């Protein structure tokens, strides 16, 4: 294990030298002993010790407690030394959150144990701070609101997405409550209710709601303590407005397609109930539909005539204009006339023809042909 460096701050020369000697015998590196608060601050900046032993009463205007506050900001643990054990002195020292408090004259065993415990605790605290920094960085990598609360709805952690919307007085550690986020409109009443209802759930709870014109997906994740009990939960929100609107559009389109499908089925049933021969083509005359009456009389199935030009059904001696040029030149008029067709078996069928274009806007999409057989 690397030898720990200790800064001794003691205003009595003999006591300081004796303490330095004892610490060296214990295996610590003690490069310097200083006797004022300012010297302690300067020495801490220069040698960056692993720990400082700080006498509370020092020479000059600065007390050891005041110097310890400055030294402690550098992440250096401080153990107080004092000849006074009166309550006011102890209370002042405790408020500065030292890593230990020793009464003179010092017991060597207690001194060594306190130093070892302080060094270990500082190492653990450093790892915790590093972990917290990593966790906060990961949380802030999420650009959407995320926070952690405890059982009393105290907000323990927030990411920048929420912090940027709060006032300076509303921050973690200043008594920030979930209700404050609700008041600011940063969370919805629905989310607050869901947190209360599902705080102790064994598994993450997810739900969606529309709030302030947006669709938000929430995940409430229980967090366990060392005893395996839920004592806090993490709340993550995700704006799914684009996805939700896409889902709604898709649903509307599917509904429209289903209605059109039903209309087509109804249309087909109606066409199949007619005695006339019904033929549907695209805008250039390629067959896409025939009814049952056509199949029975002409002998062709839809599969056989699909994408075949309707002029292929015409008797070559018939002069009714139904070739491809007619579809190209005369797209938008209703056609009427006498039309002689030939079925699959070569039988000529004389009919009265009426053809209507199916127009959407300015575009002809298809044509419907109704052929009524002339029986005489």
pLDDT above 80 for 105: yes
pLDDT of residue 184: 82
Residues 6+ apart with CB under 8 A from 187: 145, 178, 181, 235
pLDDT above 90 for 51: yes
Tell me: do 226 and 126 sit in the same domain.
no
Mean pLDDT of the 136-151 span = 85
DSSP-derived secondary structure for 89-145: HHHHHHHT--SEEEESSPPHHHHHHHHHHHHHHHHHHHHHHHHHHHHHHHHHHS-S-
d(CA 147, CA 155): 7
Mean pLDDT of the 66-85 span = 88
CATH code, domain carrying 53 = 3.40.50.2300
Categorize the per-residue pLDDT at 331 as very low, low, confident or very high, splitting at 50, 70 and 90: confident
pLDDT digits (tens, 9 = 90+) for 229-247: 999 999 999 999 998 888 8
Categorize the per-residue pLDDT at 54 as very low, low, confident or very high, splitting at 50, 70 and 90: very high
Tell me: do 190 and 250 sit in the same domain.
no
Tell me: do 318 and 297 sit in the same domain.
yes
Domain boundary among 136, 152, 172: 136
Q: Which alpha helices (H) appear in the chain, and where do they start and end?
A: 13-25, 37-47, 64-72, 87-95, 108-141, 160-163, 178-183, 189-198, 241-272, 292-298, 302-305, 324-329
Q: What angle do CA 6, 9, 11 make, to 5 degrees?
A: 150
Tell me: do 347 and 369 sit in the same domain.
yes
Lowest mean pLDDT across 73-87, 162-176, 302-316: 162-176
Share of the chain above pLDDT 70, in %: 94
Tell me: do 67 and 175 sit in the same domain.
no
Mean pLDDT of the 42-64 span = 93
pLDDT above 80 for 171: no
Tell me: do 123 and 16 sit in the same domain.
yes
Given phi > 0 = left and psi -120 to 50 = alpha, else beta, which region is 299? left
Cis peptide bond upstream of 105, omega within 30: yes
Domain boundary among 239, 265, 300: 239
- The residue range of the domain holding 58 is 6-136
pLDDT above 80 for 376: no
pLDDT of residue 1: 47
- Report the domain count for the chain: 4
Tell me: do 68 and 181 sit in the same domain.
no
pTM of the entire predicted model: 0.52
Tell me: do 220 and 169 sit in the same domain.
yes
Please give the mean pLDDT across all residues of the chain: 90
pLDDT above 60 for 287: yes
Tell me: do 187 and 288 sit in the same domain.
no
Tell me: do 55 and 72 sit in the same domain.
yes
């Amino acid at each position: 294990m690397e030898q720990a460096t200790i800064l001794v701050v003691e205003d009595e020369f003999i006591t300081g030298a004796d303490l330095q000697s004892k610490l060296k015998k214990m295996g610590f590196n003690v490069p310097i002993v200083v006797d004022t608060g300012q010297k302690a601050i300067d020495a801490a900046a220069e040698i960056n010790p692993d720990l400082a032993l700080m006498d509370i009463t020092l020479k000059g205007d600065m007390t050891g407690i005041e110097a310890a506050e400055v030294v402690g900001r550098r992440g250096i643990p401080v153990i107080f030394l004092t000849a006074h054990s009166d309550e006011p002195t102890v209370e002042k020292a405790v408020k500065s959150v030292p890593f230990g408090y020793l009464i003179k004259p010092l017991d060597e065993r207690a001194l060594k144990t306190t130093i070892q415990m302080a060094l270990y605790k500082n190492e653990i605290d450093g790892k915790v701070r590093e972990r917290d920094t990593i966790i906060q960085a990961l949380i802030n990598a999420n650009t959407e609101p995320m926070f952690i609360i405890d059982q009393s709805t105290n907000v323990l952690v927030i990411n920048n997405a929420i912090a940027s919307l709060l006032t300076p007085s509303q921050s973690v550690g200043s008594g920030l409550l979930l209700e404050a986020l609700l008041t600011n409109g940063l969370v919805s009443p629905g989310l607050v209710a869901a947190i209360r209802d599902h705080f102790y759930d064994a598994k993450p709870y997810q739900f969606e709601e529309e709030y302030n014109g947006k669709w938000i997906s929430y995940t409430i994740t229980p967090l366990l303590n060392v005893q395996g009990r839920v004592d806090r939960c993490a709340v993550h929100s995700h704006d799914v407005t684009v996805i939700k609107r896409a889902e709604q559009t898709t649903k509307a389109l599917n509904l429209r397609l289903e209605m059109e499908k039903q209309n087509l089925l109804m249309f087909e049933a109606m066409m199949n109930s007619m005695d006339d021969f019904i033929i549907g083509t695209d805008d250039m005359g390629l067959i896409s539909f025939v009814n049952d009456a056509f199949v029975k009389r002409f002998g062709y199935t839809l599969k056989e005539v699909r994408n075949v030009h309707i002029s292929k059904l015409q008797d070559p001696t018939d002069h009714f204009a139904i070739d491809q040029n007619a579809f190209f030149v005369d797209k938008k008029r209703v056609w009427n006339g006498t039309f002689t067709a030939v079925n699959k078996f070569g039988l000529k069928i004389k009919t009265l023809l009426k053809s209507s274009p199916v127009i959407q806007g300015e575009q002809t999409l298809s044509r419907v042909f109704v052929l009524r057989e002339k029986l005489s």
